[in-house]
């Protein structure tokens, strides 16, 4: 019995050395997953940047997506699509309007299914005399974050077109976007 006990103690001692701390393991796995997630996100950003050095960044306005939610499903070569966060907020409010709820819901569903980038605006992108409480100005500020790129606002709002023009940002209507080759 004594030999068995020593043998058990040796085996038990070996088992303690090989014993896995499950909490630490899951913590380590979580850390690795976070790091891998950051690497993948960074890699995607780098790939997006490389692909869009000569491409076009299309920034979509609320009314363009209300008029035709499928705009963001039209493939364009060497281009990326951006929906400003303020557009999502406007669409969310429009869902409550019984006359526009179906169009707003369709636009939201299409955005959800698509491969668009959702972007916040930069308060510092516009001149100080632009009121940042105005949603058109927030959309313009989102586009201006990318003013060093080939950025185009897709809008059917004439006043937003005027504001874009004042800041040397290109724009086009939703019908022009559909007709364009790229």
What's residue 181's pLDDT? 72
**Domain count along the chain:** 2
Question: Both 131 and 81 in a single domain?
Answer: yes
170 in the same domain as 98: yes
Same domain, 33 and 116: no
Give the confidence band of 50 by pLDDT, cuts at 50, 70, 90.
very low
Q: Do residues 77 and 165 share a domain?
A: yes
Among 42-56, 115-129, 145-159, the minimum mean pLDDT is found in 42-56
Q: Pick from 16-25, 30-39, 171-180 the range whose average pLDDT is largest.
A: 171-180
Same domain, 92 and 34: no
Residue recorded with tokens 């972007």:
119
Find the CATH number of the domain harbouring 170: 3.40.50.1010
Please name which of 55, 65, 56, 57 lies closest in space to residue 155, comparing C-alpha atoms.
65
Residues 36 and 87 in one domain: no
Position 18 scores a pLDDT of 60
**Both 95 and 155 in a single domain?**
yes
What is the DSSP secondary structure assignment for residue 99, as one 8-state letter?
T
Cα separation of 21 and 24, whole Å?
5
Give the number of other Cβ atoms within 10 Å of residue 74's Cβ.
Answer: 13
Which of 2, 145, 133 has its CA nearest to residue 82?
Answer: 145
Domain of 78 in residue numbering reads as 54-179
80 and 7 within one domain: no
Whether residues 94 and 175 fall in one domain: yes
CA nearest neighbour of 169 among 146, 182, 133, 119: 146
126 pLDDT above the threshold of 90: no
25 and 68 in a single domain? The answer is: no
Same domain flag for 91 and 145? yes
100 and 37 fall within a common domain: no
Average pLDDT value for residue range 79-86? 96
What per-residue confidence (pLDDT) applies to 47? 46
């Amino acid at each position: 019995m004594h030999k068995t006990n020593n043998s058990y103690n040796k085996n038990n001692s070996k088992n303690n050395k090989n014993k896995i701390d499950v909490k630490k393991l899951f913590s380590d796995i979580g850390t690795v997953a976070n790091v891998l997630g950051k690497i993948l996100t960074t890699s995607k950003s780098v790939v997006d940047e490389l692909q869009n050095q000569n491409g076009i960044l299309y920034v979509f306005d609320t009314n363009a997506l209300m008029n035709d939610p499928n705009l963001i499903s039209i493939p364009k070569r060497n281009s990326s699509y951006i929906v400003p966060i303020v557009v999502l907020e406007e669409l969310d409010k429009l869902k409550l309007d019984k006359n526009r709820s179906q169009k707003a819901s369709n636009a939201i569903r299409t955005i959800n299914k698509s491969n668009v980038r959702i972007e916040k605006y930069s308060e510092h992108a516009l001149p100080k005399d632009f009121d940042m409480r105005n949603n058109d100005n927030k959309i313009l500020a989102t586009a201006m974050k990318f003013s060093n790129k080939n950025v185009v606002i897709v809008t059917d709002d004439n006043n937003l077109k005027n504001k874009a023009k004042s800041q040397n940002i290109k724009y086009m209507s939703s019908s022009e976007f559909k007709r364009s080759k790229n």
